[in-house]
Amino acid sequence: MLYSDKILRTPSSFIRNILKVASAEDVISFAGGLPNPISFPIDGLQKAINEAIEVHGPKLFQYSTTEGYLPLRQYIADKYNTNFGLAIEPEDILITTGSQQALELISQVLVNKGEGIIVEEPGYLGALQAFSLTEPTFYPVQLTEEGLNVEQLAQTLYENPCIKFIYTVPNFHNPTGITYTRENREAIYEVVKKFDVVLIEDDPYGDLRWNGEKLPYIGAGRLENSVILGSFSKIVTPGFRIGYMITKNKELLNHVNTAKQATDLHTNIFSQIVIHDYLVKNDLTTHITKITDLYQQQARSMIQAMEKYFPPTITYTKPDGGMFIWVTLEEGVSALELFNKAMEAKVAFVPGDPFYTNKSNVNTLRLNYTNSSPEVIEEGIKRLGKILYEIPSKQLI
Amino acid sequence: MLYSDKILRTPSSFIRNILKVASAEDVISFAGGLPNPISFPIDGLQKAINEAIEVHGPKLFQYSTTEGYLPLRQYIADKYNTNFGLAIEPEDILITTGSQQALELISQVLVNKGEGIIVEEPGYLGALQAFSLTEPTFYPVQLTEEGLNVEQLAQTLYENPCIKFIYTVPNFHNPTGITYTRENREAIYEVVKKFDVVLIEDDPYGDLRWNGEKLPYIGAGRLENSVILGSFSKIVTPGFRIGYMITKNKELLNHVNTAKQATDLHTNIFSQIVIHDYLVKNDLTTHITKITDLYQQQARSMIQAMEKYFPPTITYTKPDGGMFIWVTLEEGVSALELFNKAMEAKVAFVPGDPFYTNKSNVNTLRLNYTNSSPEVIEEGIKRLGKILYEIPSKQLI
């Protein structure tokens, strides 16, 4: 066999195929996960580009260091220290090619074939793909409305000393939109501190909050093996592929740095400098408010439409931020079958299946609202509701 | 142990440490591997950026496809078809985050732990690092003035059915500057076609030829598992991290695409579109001639200085392009020890050690000439020559 075991076991994107059928012009699509273009400050970036070329010249176009542009790392450190009362230094930060890259690198650095990773159930598909390249054993822990099932987390850790890290998305989780409560975070901390494992808090959506107060991280500032992942993809631009990893564990960061060097030498330096110049010369808070005002309005439209058009037996999350709503159909109803019916009515979403490591024909699905107007959202949900009322559950299994 | 076996076995950059000491202001450094900033067409790129923002708007800043920007893939296909008489389609091309990323992805897709990779001896350190993440067994094959030692290549392939791929840099090789001869390429083809292995021809320097004629690739257009890697890092900008992989093997490309998606979703789309717009609106040949005129002059200065100042027992390659010269000291002389003496005289180079998978205290070293003026090159070589004359070989062992 020419190919490696790990690539044959890596799921290629189920979502990619769905997005293909969902991208037809006459389809109302809630399937994507793209930020709204309103989040790209194009004029500000154009200005930053012109100034950066004038000020930095060839430096923008030359090879650069693996760890990343120091002023950008300083900006990130300041932001987290101000917002969360942490004591992060630029030396605790590695700039990555999107935070997606950090997922693969951390997995490479920690996991031998067969060793364990705790993932949320359901969880971010992109993380499952990134981790698969190290051929781990996945230990799913149930995600509840409050956050991780702490009892199951503790039991899983006790029973499986092979577990190397825990992967979480505590704010406006993908795919569910759930935010871990303060109490749940505290309870997770009390469990995790007893084990020699890494806790990853992947936080691409944290800034997109329109309701409630920012919550502290679970491990940052108090767990030795705490890792925060962040990104500029949802608040400035995903096209530049600029993410970052923060940890006070110097040995871990050093290993990830070595792996990154082996993987792509360093992150696009032009984009790093331009993003930094944009950030220091513009009011990010005002920009983010513009995004969250829109997303809040879109999320509200979707929830109001679901209250109006969906059978009352169907439940869904009500996010305080982020980009997704998670819908739970009646027990035994297959979201995948619903998807096929919905496509006939020209509405698309992502059936829950790819967000689980070992389940299929689940009764859950993900809705994205960030790229449709309130009118389109109402029409799409109305069509879905019609199908849900018309078709008896058993026909959907 | 918290960390994986593979990261503990991945060499962190020996060169990085050397570059640190070599970067002091008063040191004449031949240690780097950076292209000269003359190779960055800054004005052309600035124009391309402004036009791209005007024409493409939000598309430059949004998420994009894993395979890469179609018009850029079309441009690359056209270039190879014109220059080498190949029949490459855009569908045969994947855009990568620098060609370095392709090295890691291919290795992930092909190699299970312990399986074999044939590498040149000496070979590109960055490739050895990228491959190490899959815990392979390295089978070094000697690089001669003509190219690979074909007899050793054949024997290694016959004796080790676990070998998955062969990694070569046939044009202006890093670290040696050697270009495989036409006859050597033909002989390699005759051997490799008998085996179910992938042949990688990594070609970042191929465009930088100032002497002699372009030679055909070894496998492209005739070996089923032929892979060409290319890059814009040496002719436009390394800061953008834009490389590519070309293969007619659709299954292989598909697997690499899946691995890339897991690794960083897609390559910076802003940079892909800008490079494409630059390429179609400017005369690349004229730009490349500007670079090769400079490099030829620098290489000639270095060779003339070595003829003048080095002991006649010392040999070195005389490249027809690229960025490096490879020096072989007398038998038994340690280049690492020479490095220490040279640093006292404020001259830096890279001792050969890191370019071998299983040798140390070698008598070879790499010189880079692309970032020094002819005067500085002469002064640096003069200082090295002085040391080489003063110190008897045995003291250097």
Q: Which run of H or E residues covers position A147? A: strand A147-148
Tens of pLDDT, residues B179-212? 999 999 999 999 999 999 999 999 999 999 999 9
DSSP class per residue in A207-249: T-B-SSPPPPPSSTTT-TTEEEEEESTTTT-STT-EEEEEES-
Nearest-neighbour CA in chain B from A98: distance (Å): 6
> Least CB-CB distance to A58: which of B40, B126, B133?
B40
Q: How far apart are CA B302 and CA B252, in angstroms?
A: 42
Predicted-complex ipTM score? 0.95
Domain boundaries, chain A: 5-40+286-396, 62-281
Which residues does chain A have within 8 Å of residue B164's beta carbon, measured at their own beta carbons?
A: 2
Residue of A293, A254, A252 lying closest to A111 (CA atoms): A252
How do beta strands B347-348 and B28-29 pair?
A: parallel
Q: Cβ–Cβ of B42/A49 closer than 8 Å?
A: no
Alpha-carbon gap: A186 to the closest alpha carbon of chain B (Å)? 24
Q: Which amino acid is at B110?
A: L
DSSP count for chain B of H helices, then E strands: 14, 14
Residue to mutate among A63, A164, A251, A260, with most B CBs inside 10 A, is: A63
- The minimal CB distance from A97 to the residues B16, B62, B264 is found for B264
Tell me: the pLDDT tens digits for A122-175? 999 999 999 999 999 999 999 999 999 999 999 999 999 999 999 999 999 999
pLDDT at A225 over 80: yes
Which residues of chain B make contact with A263, given a CB cutoff of 8 A? 100-101, 104, 130, 133, 263
Closest-CA distance, A332 to chain B, in angstroms, reads 31
Q: What is the predicted pLDDT for the residue at A94?
A: 98
Q: Return the minimum-mean-pLDDT range out of A53-57, B134-138, B164-168, B329-333.
A: B329-333
Q: What residue of A is the nearest CA neighbor of B113?
A: A4
Q: Does domain A62-281 have CATH number 3.40.50.720?
A: no
Question: CA A56: distance to chain centroid?
Answer: 33
Q: Please choose, from the candidates A230, A239, A242, A118, the residue with its C-alpha nearest in 3D space to the C-alpha of residue A171.
A: A230
Residue type, B89: E
DSSP symbols for A292-357: HHHHHHHHHHHHHHHHHHS-TT-EE---SBSSEEEEE-STT--HHHHHHHHHHTTEE-EESGGGSS
Mutate to test the interface with A, among B135, B167, B268 (most CBs of A within 10 A): B268
Q: What percent of chain B has pLDDT over 70?
A: 98
A162 to chain B, closest Cα gap in Å: 10
Nearest to A7 among B16, B109, B133 (CB): B109
Class of domain B5-40+286-391: alpha beta
User: Per residue in A320-377, pLDDT tens?
Assistant: 999 999 999 999 899 999 999 999 999 999 999 999 998 888 999 999 999 999 999 9
* Confidence at A394, pLDDT banded by 50, 70, 90: low
Looking at the complex, report in whole angstroms how far the Cα of residue B235 sits from the nearest Cα belonging to chain A. 11
Min Cα separation B367/chain A (Å): 18
Q: Among A111, A135, A163, A241, which would you mutate to test the B interface (most chain B Cβ atoms within 10 Å of its Cβ)?
A: A241
Gap between the Cα atoms of B16 and B22, Å rounded: 10
Classify domain A5-40+286-396 at the CATH class level.
Answer: alpha beta
Residue B397 has pLDDT above 90, yes or no: no
Measuring CA to CA, which residue among B388, B328, B394, B323 is closest to residue B122? B328
- Rounded to 5°, angle at Cα A128 from A122 and A132: 145
Residue of A nearest to B259 (CA): A7
What would the mean pLDDT of B219-224 be, rounded to a whole number? 96
* Contact assignment for B261 to A13 by CB distance below 8 Å: yes
Residue for token digits 């002023």?
A71
Residue B394 confidence class, pLDDT cut points 50, 70, 90: low
Residue B360: the pLDDT is 87
The Cα–Cα gap between A151 and A142 comes to: 10
The dihedral region occupied by A124, where left means phi > 0, alpha psi between -120 and 50, and beta the remainder, is beta
Name the residue of chain A whose CA is nearest to B96's CA.
A264
Q: Is B229 in contact with B202 (CB distance < 8 Å)?
A: yes
Name the minimum distance, in Å, from the CA of A63 to any CA of chain B.
5
The pair phi, psi for residue B142, each rounded to 5°, is -60, 135
Can you tell me whether residue B202 is helix, strand or coil?
strand
CATH number of B63-281: 3.40.640.10
Contact assignment for A267 to B241 by CB distance below 8 Å: yes
Contact B65, B71 (CB under 8 A): no
Please answer yes or no on whether A4 and B262 come within 8 Å at the CB atom. Answer: no
Q: Which residues in chain B have Cβ-Cβ distances shorter than 8 Å to A225?
A: 2
Q: Tell me the pLDDT tens digit for each residue of A14-41.
A: 777 777 777 788 999 999 899 999 999 9
Look at residue B96 and give its three-state secondary structure: strand
The answer on pLDDT for A397 being more than 70 is no
Size of interface A-B (CB pairs under 8 A): 216
Chain A nearest-CA residue for B195: A2
Tens digit of each residue's pLDDT (9 = 90 or more) over A240-266: 999 999 999 999 999 999 999 999 999
Residues of A in contact with B98 (CB under 8 A): 264-265
- Across the interface, whether the CB atoms of B258 and A101 are under 8 A apart is answered no
pLDDT of residue B24: 81
Q: What is the pLDDT of residue B393?
A: 55
Nearest CB to A269 within list B239, B252, B258: B239
